[in-house]
Amino acid sequence: MRLGRIASPDGVAFVSIEGVPGEMTAREIAEHPFGTPTFTGRSWPLADVRLLAPMLASKVVCVGKNYAAHIAEMGGDKGSAAADPVIFLKPNTAIIGPNVPIRLPANASPVHFEGELAAVISRPCKDVTADQAAGSILGYTIANDVTARDQQRSDGQWTRAKGHDTFCPVGPWIVTDVDPADLELRTDVNGEVKQRSRTSSMIHDVGAIVEWISAVMTLLPGDLILTGTPEGVGPIDDGDTVSVTVEGIGTLTNPVVRKGKS
């Protein structure tokens, strides 16, 4: 099932997105998409509505340094991966949906894209084991962990660099029946491939990540977990278009503008 959130002439709604590309329909879900969703009977052609970020998250928990080749390109040793996941937070105010502009701060350069697979939590969970993790996940979506690289380096920690408004594009929808173990992940900027890897190259898999995070903090329905980015990260600038594609899910596309421009 593909789950999403839309803005229609009738308001904002959670929906099930059905059909094939070019002929997709958004069926309105009553209340929320957790558990077994029920439907209101209303639907719209997907072309007639606007896709929003598919989930309202209380928090966005991210994993850093989860692909060895990315560690190396950032100046680390491929063998220096941490024994446990390295986690950090993005504020939920950074979340935007498909086709919404990533707005570059005037005082940040370079700003990098980081294409990632993201897991969406389905129920409150604390101290979940890796084996139990799948039962706590609603499904998977696509994210772009946009990062002001100069601020990351100068601050010595990552909150400001990764926390700007619009620095967490998510979408276009959540897929509930995809296996995250070995999916191709690709990022294109202006149609040129910049990242291409597979989730099987992650150092810590999704189960291990959920276990590690839930030992620290309670995860709530709708919370997002970004699972890390592979090698190939690089700058985006005013006028660019960045697209992240994950096999079995779809493509998340966002234009890039400098703040102060529309």
Kindly report, residue by residue over 37-57, the tens digit of the pLDDT. 999 999 999 999 999 999 989
Q: What pLDDT is stored for residue 69 in this prediction?
A: 87
Q: What is the mean pLDDT of residues 145-172?
A: 96
pLDDT above 60: residue 262 = no
**Chain CA centroid to CA 216, Å:** 21
Residues 188-198: tens digit of each pLDDT: 999 999 999 99
Q: Are strands 95-96 and 168-175 parallel, antiparallel or unpaired?
A: parallel
Backbone φ, ψ for residue 152 (5° rounding): -60, -45
83: confidence class by pLDDT, cuts 50, 70, 90: confident
pLDDT above 90: residue 101 = yes
Q: What mean pLDDT, rounded, does the chain reach? A: 95
Please give the Cα distance from 53 to 103 (Å, whole number).
Answer: 16
Percent share of the chain, pLDDT over 90: 89
**DSSP strand E in 199-238: where?**
224-226, 234-236
Q: Which residues pair with 229 in a beta bridge?
A: none
Q: What pLDDT is stored for residue 261 in this prediction?
A: 60
pLDDT above 80: residue 74 = no
Q: What pLDDT is stored for residue 22 in this prediction?
A: 87
pLDDT above 70: residue 81 = no
What are the sequence ranges of the domains in the chain?
2-52, 60-258
Alpha-carbon separation of residue 34 from 4, 30, 56, 76, 207 (angstroms)? 12, 11, 13, 40, 20
Whether the bond into 172 is cis, omega within 30 of 0: yes
Q: Do domains 2-52 and 60-258 have the same CATH topology?
A: no
Residue pair 16/176 in contact by the 8 Å Cβ criterion: no
Q: What pLDDT is stored for residue 176 in this prediction?
A: 97
* Residue 49: Cβ-neighbour burial (10 angstroms; 0-12, 13-18, 19+): buried
CATH superfamily of 60-258: Fumarylacetoacetase-like, C-terminal domain (3.90.850.10)
Residues 13-38: tens digit of each pLDDT: 999 999 998 899 999 999 999 989 99
Q: In what helix (H) or strand (E) does residue 13 lie, and over which residues does it extend? A: strand 11-18
Q: What is the mean pLDDT of residues 71-91?
A: 80
Contacts of 134 (CB under 8 A, 6+ apart): 207
77: confidence class by pLDDT, cuts 50, 70, 90: low
How many CB atoms neighbour CB 24 within 10 A?
A: 16
What number does CATH give the domain 2-52? 2.30.30.370
Q: What pLDDT is stored for residue 23 in this prediction?
A: 94
258: confidence class by pLDDT, cuts 50, 70, 90: very high
Q: What pLDDT is stored for residue 95 in this prediction?
A: 98
Residues 196-216: tens digit of each pLDDT: 999 999 999 999 999 999 999
Instruction: Read off the pTM.
Output: 0.96
80: confidence class by pLDDT, cuts 50, 70, 90: low
